[in-house]
Amino acid sequence: MDRTSLHMGLVMDPRGLPQGAVWLRWVDGSPYSALAVLPDCPTASPDGMDGCCEFDGHSGGHSWELADAVDQETAAEAQDGTG
């Protein structure tokens, strides 16, 4: 399976589920999907104010890094009048 075509989406993060959260996973072009309970990413932001909202072992940046990038892009667009 081509790992680049694997997608994950958070379904719910129920209170009291010590194993993590419920995620939906699917592959491009496949009619099948599956639910999985995956452990939470244990990484906290450098200032300790935010935890990562992804699952343990996720690819890419942590959720607070992505939020910062979007905030910076939005501020830049507002400054140059494109946003």
Beta bridge partners of 17: none
The pLDDT of residue 23 is 94
The pLDDT of residue 1 is 44
User: Can you give the pTM of this predicted structure?
Assistant: 0.65
Residue 45 clears pLDDT 50, i.e. is over it: yes
Residue 28 clears pLDDT 80, i.e. is over it: yes
Report how far residue 35's alpha carbon sits from residue 12's, in angstroms, rounded to the nearest whole number. 11
Report how far residue 56's alpha carbon sits from residue 60's, in angstroms, rounded to the nearest whole number. 12
The pLDDT of residue 2 is 46
Residue 4 clears pLDDT 70, i.e. is over it: no
